[in-house]
Amino acid sequence: MKYIYIKTWGCQMNEYDSSMIARYLEKTGQYLITQKTEQADILVLNTCSIREKAQEKLFHQLGRWKTLKSKNPTIIIAVGGCVATQEGKEIIKRAKHVDIIFGTQSLHKLPKMISEVEKNKKFMIDISFPQLDKFNYSLPIKTKGYTALVSIMEGCNKYCSFCVVPYTRGKEISRPSDDILFEVASLAEKGIREINLLGQNVNAYQGVTFNGKTCFFSELLRLISEIDGIDRIRFTTSNPLEFTDDIIEVYKDTPKLVSFLHLPVQSGSNKILQLMKRSYTIEKYEKIIEKLLKARPNIQISSDFIVGFPGESKEDFKQTINFIKKINFDMSYSFIYSSRPGTPASEMKDEINLKEKKERLYILQDCINKQTMSWSRRMLGSTQSVLVEGISKNNSMQIYGKTENNRIVNFYGPLEIIGQFAQVQINEVHTHNLQGILL
């Protein structure tokens, strides 16, 4: 038996991919997963290219692993994920100690690639896009906790001017609906109570059914809600461009779908949205929120924002802040714009200095944080349905769980209710968590 260490950077899709890598390798019966790099015979790095200087971050990590390999030359180093797909053989030019480069769609080939390297001592690369082949292998589903990620589609066709995803993940392609339903049902049998559906644009899902018809995202949500044992459904991430009325209708009649939606907008300025090639307007976004609130009056919205995009004036930024207040977003992921090689935005003239960008990010995050706290204070005295996940990290005498709107609640209760839903009254509100009383 050999030991594999997997390091993951980036989004939930990367986390899901890393879990698949672990399952592919363990299925061979030749490998065990370890959490210690010094114990590993094979080091796997699953990369992300979204953030600034992703390539430099990769080579810094490979430099640290080079030290391990100099002590033990038999160690195999494999680099996968978005940066691997984007850079390909360029990686080996700077890091000759790398043995394998694999792409986002060739995870399933990793066991064979490792075997080839062990046998022939030859560098291997496969960054092809064989379209969903990685899902076409029977794998035992491993679970940890009571929530699970399930990928329903890959890739993106939107080609936003700042984004590398279409180049690293390929075009949109949806998994067959029956495959997804089988995976969710299998997870439910193993005790999973909450499912989070993943995709670069989940609302663009169009999976083939057993009889050759097309299953759209709204139908998939309803089918999953009928699976016994699954009591809570989330999804991430969506594009406002395809958040259609049939999806909004699901919020009316499917209570298992949470009253919390992450819907990235990126900017509150139509001018900047046009430069980003987002293909929708602020007015269209507002209309979606208006319809959602009619379908589910208690829904809370989180979003993504990019600050300091090329061409963003002080007036554009002011429009974004006003928009945040108007929608009253609960939470957000917000970043300073960073140029990604090969994207159209990387050719745009960026005249905003870093100091100004940092100031804008601080103002935006401060605004969101105040709104997050305001939403949390509204929960004081309310009764929340909490999926109990384990012993509290802050107080070993308490247990904790998550509310529908993604708040962690710590409270006193018996260990027997871990893995179940509990009714908890909120009696204290803190910045990063809530305190409650089990009813």
Annotated binding site for [4Fe-4S] cluster: 11, 48, 82, 156, 160, 163
The one-letter amino acid at 240: P
Burial class (CB in 10 A: 0-12, 13-18, 19+), 96: exposed
CA distance 315 to 93: 45
Name every residue whose Cβ is closer than 8 Å to that of residue 409 and which is 6 or more positions away in sequence.
Answer: 384, 386, 400, 401, 402, 403, 424, 426, 433, 434, 435, 436
Torsion of CA 180, 169, 234, 27, to 10 degrees: 50
CA 238 to chain CA centroid, Å, is 11
Enter the tokens of residue 289. Answer: 């929120």
Q: Which two tokens stand for residue 244?
A: 């259609």
The DSSP-derived string for 139-189 is: -PPP--SSEEEEE-EE--S---TT--HHHHH-S-EEPPHHHHHHHHHHHHH
Name the token pair of 398.
């308490």
Residue entry with tokens 């029977």: 138
What is the Cα–Cα distance from 141 to 389, expressed in whole angstroms? 19
Q: Which neighbouring-strand residues pair with 43?
A: 5, 77
Widest pairwise Cα distance in the chain = 66
State the DSSP string of 49-108: -SSTTHHHHHHHHHHHHHHHHHH-TT-EEEEEEHHHHHHTTHHHHH-TT--EEE-TT-GG
Report yes or no: 372 and 328 within 8 Å, Cβ to Cβ.
no
Q: Which residues are annotated as a binding site?
A: 11, 48, 82, 156, 160, 163
Tell me the C-alpha distance between 237 and 235, whole Å.
6
